[in-house]
Each structure stands twice: as C-alpha cells, then as structure tokens.
Copies of this chain bind each other. A is one copy, B any other.
Amino acid sequence: MVLLARYVVTPWEVEGDVDYKRLMTEFGIQELDDRLLERIRRQAGGLHPFLSRRIFFAHRDFGRVLDQYDQRDPFFLYTGRAPSGHTHLGHLVPWIFTKWLQDAYGVELWFQFPDDEKFLFKERLTLEDTNRFTEENMLDVIALGFDPKRTHFLIDTRHAGIMYREALRVAKRITFSQVKSSFGLTNEANLGQVFYTAMQAVPAFLPSVLAGKSLPCLIPHAVDQDPHFRLSRDVVGKLGYDKPASIQCRFLPPLEGTSGKMSASADSLATIWTVDDERTVRKKVNKYAFSGGRDTVEDHRRLGGRPEVDVAYQYLTFFEEDDTKLRKIHDDYAAGKILSGELKGILVEKLVGMLGRHQDAREKARNKVDSYLYTP
C-alpha cells in the first residue's frame, strides 16, 4: 500500500491528488521514456496518443518484451476488468490501448474478469451480481473490436477448473505477511481476500502452461493494480516462466476535478457510463465538469481559461485523438477565445459520437460472447 501525505493508491482505493512522479518512485516502476516510445513507433508504425501524451506513463520490463518481439518471441497481452458494476469512460482507457497494441503487434490477448475479487471485497455484492456485471462488461470489451480469434476471456469462477490449480502454485509462495504489507490487509480480511492475488497472477503464465513453454507477457493496466503484479512477478519467475512486464496508465479523473479517478460507484451522479444517452452525457458534463474558466466572460476573454485544471479539456486529452485539433482547442481556450461552456460542448459532441458508436457495437456484441470465452 502506498500512503503518502496527499493520496492513497491501492488496488481498491485511489484517493486524493495523485502525484505520478512520486508514485513511480514509491512503486519502483520506470518512466516510459522517449527511447522506448521511439522503439514502439518503429515497431508499430506509429504511436497511440495515449503514449505520446504519456497517459501510459510507466512500465516494468517493457524494453525486455520489445527485445523479445524483435527476436521473434512475441508477447501475449493480459488485462482485465473486475466486474463490480457497469462500465464507465475510465475503464475504457486501458482497453482502448490494449486493442491498439493487439492490432499493432498482432498478438494474443487474455482478458480476465475476476468476479471472485469483487464478490470478496464488496460486502453487498453476491456472486449472482458479479456474474451479471461480467455479462454486461464483456459486451463493452467486445464492442471495442478485439480480434475474437486472438482474444480469450477468462472468468475466474467459470474457469476455476483450469485456474485454481495454477493459483495454488502461486499461493504456496506468498505469505500472509506479504499481502498484509502489499495491500494493507488486516487480520480481519476474509480468507478469499487473502487468497485472491494468486488468482490475479494466473493469466500472466497460464498461456505458458498451455503452450508448454515460457511466453513473454505484457500487462497494460491502470497504475493502481501494480501491487498485485509486483508481488506475483517474482513468483511467476520462480515457477519457471518469464516475469510479466507491464505498461501502466494514469486515471481518467472524476468530472468534479483533476485528482483521483472516476468513481465506479453505482450511485455516483457524476460518472459517465458507456450506456448513457446524449441527454445524460450533456447534463453530467454541464453540471459536474470542473471548469478552468474565469468568473466572468470579461475576465475569461482577458485572462484566458486554464486547460491544465479544466476537466473538459483533460478528457479531450484522452478522447480527442487528433493532435492538431487538440492543440488548437488548448490554445484557443488558454487565449480566452473559447468559453468554458463552449469547451464542454466540444467534449459532449466528442463523447456522444464515441458512445453512440460504442453502444451500437455493444448491442451487436450480445451474440458474440461465446466466440471470446476461452474453451480448453
């Protein structure tokens, strides 16, 4: 658990004004530097904006898997979604990037839905709830267009028949003391919470088990999940497989401000869900998005807006892929040419277009689930 003066980041809690520089030091993760970005640009034929804009900003051993890729030993991707509720905009960030990686490198993806985790950590959730959310969340993942031939969904309770055995091999090599210090679990943690991290480690080497040889693994994930993989990297190594590498992103901030992450709580009024309609998105952005504008139109025209604290602008850095357009919006806003309400309008238009296409694809995903579920 990382607990600094101003923020808390664990796999279950992200609070306060996250200082990503300090987080890298605390977690012991490396910055995604220009040299690495240049390698990706060369291999992939371009850079996703999440890279050039340092939304993905840190990594572990990413250089090694790129070396292996160059030596014709391609990595597989592993990411996931803990099904505690519906999918919101922030969840899409690592998945959009994972989809880009799959296409750019032409690799396999193992996508885990740890329905056990959310059942164990949320008192009120039943297994029936987490199973239902898994069904919903799978539609959002499929809607992003992953290649069904190279994508394999693993649902912990459904695939326990192959996963539990491998989780045991991890669990035997991690002590309660270790999870206590990594996650801040107490003696009042339930037995499943203690065991769970072993299940989360499994997809990092299950493809190697199935292939009968060690395959490099790359895990794109939000930085709060690092404690799980930090703990399991050594164990996976001791089991005779490559330590999984990772590439880590920062959080989409909540609408109300640029710190923390968007709330996944069902009763959060300011969360934009993938199933929200145009009217709802417009209302949430207009009502809740923290503005970097000035108190009066006159002041705004004279002093200019502050894009660095304006959430509408921050969101556009995630979702407006065109660098030229984004730069112009930034400059016009900073120069006072665009008013705060107009900036929100630009974001709403962007999100409504994106979510409209997503919702169409999401409906079509309903009869595609079986082709993504892993079958031994």
Chain B residue numbers with a CB within 8 Å of A176 are 176, 185-191, 194
Are the CB atoms of A191 and B177 closer together than 8 Å? Answer: no
**CB interface residues, A 140-158, toward B, < 8 Å:** 156-158
Given contacts A120-B168, A160-B161, A168-B127, contact A175 B192 (CB under 8 A): no
Shortest distance between the CB of A335 and any CB in chain B (Å): 56
Q: How many copies does the complex hold?
A: 2
Are the CB atoms of B190 and A173 closer together than 8 Å? Answer: yes
Q: Most B CB atoms within 10 A — which of A165, A167, A171, A172?
A: A172
- The contact of A172 among B119, B157, B169, B171, by CB within 8 Å, is B119
CA distance in complex: A198, B175 (Å): 18
Consensus secondary structure, chain A interface: helix
Are the CB atoms of A188 and B175 closer together than 8 Å? Answer: yes
Chain B residue numbers with a CB within 8 Å of A172 are 119-120, 190-192
**CB interface residues, A 36-90, toward B, < 8 Å:** none
**Nearest residue, chain B, Cβ from A169:** B127
**Nearest residue, chain B, Cβ from A125:** B172
Q: Most B CB atoms within 10 A — which of A157, A159, A164, A174?
A: A164
A179-214 Cβ-contact flags toward B at 8 Å (1 or 0): 110000111111110110110000000000000000
Are the CB atoms of A191 and B164 closer together than 8 Å? Answer: no
Q: How many residues of A contact B (CB 8 A)?
A: 38
Given contacts A120-B171, A171-B120, contact A179 B165 (CB under 8 A): no
Given contacts A120-B172, A168-B119, contact A179 B160 (CB under 8 A): no
Given contacts A120-B171, A165-B160, contact A198 B192 (CB under 8 A): yes
CA distance in complex: A198, B190 (Å): 11
Are the CB atoms of A174 and B198 closer together than 8 Å? Answer: no
Chain B residue numbers with a CB within 8 Å of A198 are 191-192
Chain B residue numbers with a CB within 8 Å of A192 are 167-168, 171-172, 195, 198
CA distance in complex: A120, B198 (Å): 13
A residues in contact (CB < 8 Å) with B: 116, 119-120, 127, 156-161, 163-165, 167-177, 179-180, 185-192, 194-195, 197-198
| 7 A-B contact pairs sorted by A residue (CB < 8 Å) | A116-B168, A119-B168, A159-B161, A160-B160, A172-B192, A177-B188, A195-B195
